[in-house]
Structure 1
């Protein structure tokens, strides 16, 4: 069975909680056991010292030869019953002289081993967890306190023994309370982990649903941003990606539709005229005219395909620039001469060609394509008897080249879209029937490839002007360094902890 992220996270966290409780329980029982033993030995030792003090007084009064049982034994009994322990007195040979039972433990009449007595006299005390050489049938805590004569001789040893079964009872009670409290904690912890995990996984599930929707071509779904943590940032990035995909999909469909339209129109024209020539519909004396139209349409298809290939190469980064120092004004003059006859036919005045040399460092062929497209565009939309003006502005940043034409101008609402692929203004549709709307897009792509920029100025009913900038090599280097610095700053900001 496939495990989901929810089940993996829930099982992992639950296992950690269970393992933590087990470790906590083991540590608690270990420390409780140690505390109980130390406390038990301390209690038994205290009572053993009290019993030894009473016994010493009786031995001293009897010159260390005997103990007055009528005086000492009742005291033993009181102390023994108060702590549920047995108190007994052994002489230096191990024989038990007095015994007061305060516990219900079964015992046998046996002597205390000599090694136990020696240990008590040598160390000044004795502690044991055992059966005291078989006196008891089960384990007991035993503490022994030696008694000496006034001249330091061994007189006797007082032993206090308590059943070790109390430890098991104590630990079982501790364990029972720990289990009950752990169950309550586990229920609360599992509930908290369940809802926390569900809340953590919910945005991811929405992202999965959105990606499934994207795979079907629907890019409208968005993931709600409920926080600004890592999941929230992921949701924001996901929504941005969805918007980018939607924009790309719209552009792709528009591109496909525009390409289909631009290819279908000339191909339909070519097919119709060729079929007319073949089936005799077009008379022989008109065939040359229609063949010229077919030739123009084929050239139009060639230009369209070439433009699309150029765009693809630029966007794929496959177009290699070959920068060189050249006179951009000379490029403009040569380009204008290619339009000499149509310019004279429309009586167009060309201004600004007498500027002299304007040296720039760029790819001459690509800049020639930019200039050609802009002058061709200016010629298409200049009014008859109007003007085309070229001007240059040189600065430390670079050289700006402006190509201006009189005419109807461009509407304000159309300027933001003028560089889009296949975009044609309403006015251009009647004048630019041979264009595909790719020239200005190629112009902007080439200028951006050089690190420059292009802007449009227009006043409706007066003029239109396209100004592109070719940056100097020094300014390119500075711009590159500034971009690198900005990237470094962005990386440092990402490393900084968020301000709470």
Structure 2
């Protein structure tokens, strides 16, 4: 079975592998070099210590038997000894000298310290490594030369090198497997997210990525899932919005066309024609309002809606709006009460905020019966100002409250010409409140009225 390797997995895997391989080679080279150096130094130190040991024996008992004993000892060891006088004439040797040993003996050793010194340490190119230790036994003075074949050192270094190579190969193999596992674990979520974004780009929003943990990949996965849901919701809203627009535009246009056709008939009376023309005028006004609302929403969506905020004395401002709306309330037999006697200042766009309040008060007129009361009150709450518009009208059923600010959403599905409206007023009002750095909510109960709440930050007077 062939396991497919993705491009990103291969790329990351190779990159990590070569980087770690270079690091591993550098570390192994450093360790190998230092271990070889330390090992050679250990051999030289041991060789020098052995020569000093022979020197100490000679100085204690300088005798022919002692000399032979030292030579015999070295014949059975992997080292060789040569004992000379002060002029480097050989007194005794543990083996026959060869050219390598003669070359070392011929070196000018000058002054040799009591503890001895290294004569030859080049183990790669020479036949022997060597040390020399001086001795003084009564009137007899000379040198103890110690030799060790570099082939033995080279064999030791070769074994060490083989061990390093085996360890390096095993480490590289383990490193490769680890990197493959890690890159696969990293790239698999990325590949899933790539496929998810490809589905999103094709308009398929049925994306549901699994939980990938609490790290950055998990956060990215959750963000893509949220984005897919938002885009799906946006697509559904757009479809519903277009459907609602077509329906809302079709209704007044149908009225206008139908009554225009009737009004054009020559056999109808003038009073009847005037009534039809009034209906056509009303529907054209509704159509104009709807188009204006749609333009306002489009500007808000494109961040082209300009808000000019200024400091406003809220109570005087609200009383002015109430006076403007009072005749309409009086005509319907509804009492309008304004409860705001305090000195409160807020930063709002007076023109746009008036549009919000007029919309809410107009809804209160539409959905309240005669002999009821609508109250517009203001109070302070935790550094904010709360504007409350409360009516005693028909109210809003609980199941409709979460959707009341959506575009074209209506509680009254009958869409009557008297109460239907455009279905955009509350949506625009909420966005205008938010543009004024405020927030808006609604509380309502069917048959008991509705209360719209607007929170705005208070400023110093």
Q: Which residue of 2 aligns with 1:248?
A: 234
Q: Which residue of 2 aligns with 1:79?
A: 74
User: In the TM superposition, what is the alpha-carbon distance from 1:270 to its structure 2 partner?
Assistant: 3.8
Return the structure number with greater relative CO, CA threshold 8 A, min gap 6.
Answer: 2
User: In the TM superposition, what is the alpha-carbon distance from 1:290 to its structure 2 partner?
Assistant: 4.1
Q: Which residue of 2 aligns with 1:445?
A: 431
Taking structure 1 as the reference length, the TM-score comes to 0.78
Contact 1:119 1:126 in 2 (8 A): no
The within-5 A match list for 1:184-223 is: 184-223=170-209
Deviations 1:242-262 (A, max 9, x none): 333333232222222222322
Deviations 1:137-163 (A, max 9, x none): 943111111122436xx7221211111
2:134 paired residue among 135, 146, 156: 146
Contact 2:36 2:157 in 1 (8 A): yes
Contact 1:210 1:221 in 2 (8 A): yes
Contact 1:373 1:440 in 2 (8 A): yes
Residues 1:126 and 2:117 aligned together: yes
Instruction: Kindly tell me the number of residue pairs found equivalent between the two proteins.
Output: 449
Structure 2 CA distance for partners of 1:457 and 1:93, relative to 1, 3 Å = closer
Secondary structure of the 2:226 match is: helix
Contact 1:14 1:190 in 2 (8 A): yes
Q: Which residue of 2 aligns with 1:418?
A: 404
CA distance in 2, matches of 1:131, 1:438: 95
Deviations 1:255-308 (A, max 9, x none): 222223222333344455556778x69969565544443333322222112112
User: In the TM superposition, what is the alpha-carbon distance from 1:426 to its structure 2 partner?
Assistant: 3.0
User: In the TM superposition, what is the alpha-carbon distance from 1:334 to its structure 2 partner?
Assistant: 0.9
2:88 paired residue among 77, 94, 108: 94
Q: Which residue of 1 aligns with 2:54?
A: 51
CA distance in 2, matches of 1:434, 1:219: 34
Deviations 1:62-119 (A, max 9, x none): xxxxxx3x6623531322432x12211222223323221299x765767933622x23
Contact 2:364 2:391 in 1 (8 A): yes
RMSD: 3.5
1:232 paired residue among 218, 223, 241: 218
Structure 2 CA distance for partners of 1:214 and 1:417, relative to 1, 3 Å = same
User: In the TM superposition, what is the alpha-carbon distance from 1:201 to its structure 2 partner?
Assistant: 1.6
Structure 2 residue runs without a partner (length 5+) = none
Structure 2 CA distance for partners of 1:378 and 1:109, relative to 1, 3 Å = closer
CA distance in 2, matches of 1:163, 1:282: 135
Q: Which residue of 2 aligns with 1:350?
A: 335
Contact 1:25 1:178 in 2 (8 A): yes
Contact 1:457 1:465 in 2 (8 A): yes
Structure 2 CA distance for partners of 1:282 and 1:205, relative to 1, 3 Å = farther
Structure 2 CA distance for partners of 1:247 and 1:465, relative to 1, 3 Å = same
Pick which of 218-227 and 291-300 moved more. 291-300
Structure 2 CA distance for partners of 1:107 and 1:168, relative to 1, 3 Å = closer
Secondary structure of the 1:352 match is: strand
Taking structure 2 as the reference length, the TM-score comes to 0.84
Contact 2:79 2:149 in 1 (8 A): yes
Deviations 1:119-142 (A, max 9, x none): 33x56523122699xxxx943111
Structure 2 CA distance for partners of 1:404 and 1:394, relative to 1, 3 Å = closer
2:108 paired residue among 104, 111, 115: 115
Secondary structure of the 2:148 match is: strand
User: In the TM superposition, what is the alpha-carbon distance from 1:178 to its structure 2 partner?
Assistant: 1.6
Structure 2 CA distance for partners of 1:207 and 1:156, relative to 1, 3 Å = same
Deviations 1:365-400 (A, max 9, x none): 2232123212221222223x4424224243365554
2:375 paired residue among 376, 390, 393: 390
Contact 1:141 1:163 in 2 (8 A): yes
CA distance in 2, matches of 1:470, 1:110: 102
Pick which of 157-166 and 86-95 moved more. 86-95
User: In the TM superposition, what is the alpha-carbon distance from 1:8 to its structure 2 partner?
Assistant: 2.9
CA distance in 2, matches of 1:295, 1:17: 81
User: In the TM superposition, what is the alpha-carbon distance from 1:206 to its structure 2 partner?
Assistant: 1.2
Q: Which residue of 2 aligns with 1:332?
A: 322
